[in-house]
Amino acid sequence: MGISGSDAAGTTIGEASEREALRRIFPRLPESDATLVGPGDDAAVLAAPDGRFVVTTDMMVHGPDFRLAWSGPEDLGWKAAATNLSDIAAMGAVPTALVVAIAAPPETPVAWLEGVADGFRLACTELAPGCGVVGGDLSVSATLTFAVTAFGDLGGRRPVLRSGARPGDVVAVSGALGRAAAGLHALFTEAVDAAGEPDASRLAAVVAAHPDTVSAQLRPRPPIGDGPLAADAGATAMLDLSDGLALDARRVAEASGVAIDLDPAALGPDLRTALTGGEDHGLLATFPPGTRLPGGFRTIGAVHEGRGLRVGGRPFDERGGWDPYLEWDGRRG
């Protein structure tokens, strides 16, 4: 499924110069409150009042990460922003700026890239006000690819690492569990043709039947503001739930040298999807006992002496999540 659409002049990126494409995209991008020198120079200059900055990067590639049959340009701009904003929040920082690189097929309409820019603006406005796009790069490729780098300000807080969980801590999560995976399952079972290939003509019906879960997959809404709140409340460890609760909770346990025991009753009726479904982009954190949980955090388990992941007191040895090197089969995004 290729990129479709056209603008008034029918101009594609293969016909327009990079300068012309950027001229049209720049006005649509969100501005950053931290910008001292913005897009248009060799590099941006950002204010860092804390004296430190948090930085992360993430890629989205057509095929393993999204399908053009299901995701429009605004969806993709939104998701590319959200997945990076959540990593910044997971360190306890406030997102300040994004750098965006896009490689797209030459037949891509410039208007389609404008839609992507609109998606970035909408996501930043809703999820992280004051964060904006301060630069990036455009190129051509047979495979549509996004590479986004995000920056954040700790505001005097200590960074919350994966390695600080301690026995006795409470395990808590902010955001839904398994909802994005349920949306992806609906797309792959109901928005496909007879051969099992993604079918755009079926999308509207699937969205109407599963609005919450499909939206969670195509336009995730991570609880960005809860990251700094968790840091202020004394969170001992935290990370973004991008690859599945079981896999990500095990990462915290391994980094901290502890055992994490998740309570099945707290994970909802579809336990397996909650444990193994990825792309929720909620926040998993541990807090000292007795902490009043901030924001949307709720208790889902506890930290104990030992090693590894347990569910209801029993070892959970399945990988339980997404690893692009070990199990890519094209069935993501």
- Cβ contact 90:289 at 8 Å: no
DSSP letter (8 states) at residue 284: E
Annotated binding site for Mg(2+): 42, 56-58, 87, 137, 240, 243
Q: Provide the strand spans (E) within the chain.
A: 35-37, 45-46, 54-61, 94-104, 132-140, 145-153, 170-174, 237-241, 259-262, 282-287, 298-304, 308-311, 314-315
b/e per residue 94-123 (b: at least 16 CB within 10 A):
bbbbbbbbbbbbeebbbbbbbbbbbbbbbb
Length of the chain (residues): 333
Cα dist. 179→100, 106, 122, 212, 277 in Å? Answer: 27, 35, 21, 8, 8
Annotated binding site for ATP: 136-137, 162, 242
Annotated binding site: 42, 56-58, 65, 87, 136-137, 162, 240, 242-243, 279, 322
Structure tokens at 108: 């891509």
Q: How many whole angstroms separate alpha carbon 171 and alpha carbon 319?
A: 19
Annotated binding site for substrate: 65, 279, 322
